[in-house]
Structure 1
Amino acid sequence: MKRRIRLVLGTMLTLVLGLSAAVIGSAGPAGAALPGTVTLNPSSGALSTAPMFTAATVDGACPAPYDAQVSVYVVKPDSTYAGSLATRISTGAPYSQAPFSVALPGTARSLGAVLGSSPADGSYHLEVRCLTSTGTSVPGNGFFLPIRVTGDTWQVEDTSQAEETALKVSADPARQAVVGTQYKVTAKVTPADATGVVEFIDASTFQSTRVPVRNGVAVLDATAGSAPRSFPYLVTFWPADAAAYRLSSESFGYYSVLQSGIEVFAEDGSVVEEGSKLARGQKVKVTAQGFRPGETVKVAIPGTRGEFAKATADSRGVVTAYDLTVPKRIWGGKHTLTLTGAGSCVKVTFSFAVSRW
């Protein structure tokens, strides 16, 4: 008998591909999932039976270039990997159109061989992970199916009564943290009485941290590191009982930045001190930091007419030697030059004065 289980999950592959160039070639962290339906034939059996099942049909498609091969893994209740049933299956590839079927080879291992002797009863997951022709992948690039292990048997989990869950992810400080400082990423699980583990994966490094849910909340304590970069997090709630609650996932972008600062230089290279008097039409060069790597930075002198050309922060979040000309039509008195990151909202300021007419 075949059993169809639909996983209602949001895909986070776009975030991973957009912010991370790294790939994984082995099991790696479990991460989030592609949306789709997984059907097993048969839908139950003995732990000792090899292969565990004859075929799996997936009502979804592997995104290119991860459509050349698939591997089938077993995920334990705490979201860590127990091992693989079979790896780098290519029969029937490419798997770029839905639905597609995967037949386990005769050499595939039994579930018991993967879990070891006397595995704990409870909810596990199978993952059908999409791979490139060289066997690499990224987190969030697989289809998951909950199964239940009881004694020496397994069966596809009955999730017909399982309650939907949702994640709300936030950080303190918000948006970004200065390199070398501490920050917290908080995942609130709804409903609050859902028990399980929240897995935080930094998709740029594939570092995975698992935090138990307590009173509907899981908190990741982290350090912003030594260099500015993006932290494209994949956050997944793994229920302790898949028959009661459904797996859910969310993406969350975070950054580390340099301590904000600004320097202004005259044409001869000398430093212009904060509060200095500048002449109308005077040309200066501005260097500012504290922005996100690669972000657009808006330059402005509030109270003046016209717009200044936007700048782009480099890979360290620094705007270097920006050419600025003091407007010829500017009121005499005190003014403030501001540089504001479009995404980070980081604002760096420099005060100066202009002679009165």
Structure 2
Amino acid sequence: MNTRLRGTLAAVAAALVVALAGVVVPALPASAATIGTLELRDAGGRPMPSIDAAQLPSFTTAVATGACPVGFRDATRLAIVAGASTFVASSNQTITDATAPATATLDTPVADYSTAGTLTVRLQCLDIQNGIGVVSTSYYESTLTSSGGSRYAVTPAPTIVVEATTIALAVSPASPVVVGANVVLTATVTRAAITGSVEFFDGGVSLGSEPVSGGVASFDSTAFGLGLHSFTAVFTPNEPVYYAQSTTAAPTVITVVERPTSTTIAVAAPATVNVGTDSVLTANVAPTMAGGSVTFSAGAATLGTAPVVGGVARLSIAGLAAGEYDVTATFTPSNPILFEASTTASARRLVVLPAPAASSIALTVAGPSTPRVGDRLALTATVAPADATGTVEFLDDGVVLDTVGLSGSVAELVIPSAVLGTHSYTARFVPADARFFEGSTTPAPLLVTVAAAPVAVPTPTATPGASTGAPARVAPAAADPDGSLAFTGFAMGGLVLLAAGLLGGGGALVASRRRRAAQD
């Protein structure tokens, strides 16, 4: 045994002598015999197939394959035997269950017992009599064998069930990935307490290893080139004695593509509409070959989605409440590998007005009670409500006579010379802005009959002394001094009848002085 080991074990023994005050530890008799082996366990209770004397403590507990012999079931202790020397490595520990496998725990770590050759860890059973410990001639032991250095193999080797592990791999972002984007590989190992490392692979090429912390290891890179990438991961535990290596069940594949073509989108909408009126929102997407859909929104509310056809998307909307809306549009490409999504740079203001107010119109005519041809007539239209603005069309039997603007709530059309016949007058109100007022028409036509004008007739000159029942003689006109033209008139109830005759080819009237003389 080397000088270092002797000094270490001697120091431990001296400390234990003080701790065992009054307990005598006699040497083992020549008839001492091994009755079983030990399983050396770490602080987690796991069996150790090997120990490292340079890592303190090397092991924590020794568990025997059976109970202490009858008569020696008061206490146990551990000893390390190096060659012919025996050194106590723990204090006496009271046995609480005499039939259970004997155990002993190190209470003073062995600082360093590395040496070439063989060491023995021995669990001794004691019978305490009047404070004196009597050691059984039977004991449990295991052998530590070193080929040099501080690593020792435990004999017999314990039976250790290696626990399987699993590893899952996630890749972000999802495929397809734009070239130059940061791709993150995240591996998750079962049981977060397991330590080790994960090696990441792209196809058969190692990307590197990362330590596992809390059951997770990650790797990221922006250097992946165009094309397919098949990622896998392999977990290697720090304690392969207890945990198995594992590999992802299947590769995770992504496609790295060229950066897609950028797009722009602009939205158009009417400035104002009335409640309940259908309106069309339009979005123009560039380039025009980009296919996909456009979602129109007003603030946080979605108005609807429409397909893009030839670079244009149209959405018909109705039912918006009165108010102001800031309309935006978002383009979602059907093929994100080729085209990027885009959103309008600014909103378009849409004002929804209340429903237009109803209107009414009344029509009156001013003029003679019985108008005749040539009389002056005035048509007056009155529109309600009084604040309505616009024009009035005046119609006669459906034909527009003229259009007159409202003054206040009244419009007037003057007909300077009435035309013979019956006229069916109507009036139609046309609002200046249909968003605020509805149009209206007179409910029924206004009928006006225009009579013919009276005929003007010359007043006849009566012959003095003639009775009112006799024919009235009319003197020849001054233009007819020779008496070749004469008028004969008869007064009948105020109506004058005139007769004239043509004289042969000369055109003289038949009436002549000779006839008048004959009648006399």
Normalising by the residue count of structure 1, what TM-score does the alignment of the two structures yield? 0.34
Q: Which structure has the larger Rg?
A: 2
Identify the structure with bigger relative contact order (alpha carbons < 8 Å, sequence gap 6+). Answer: 1
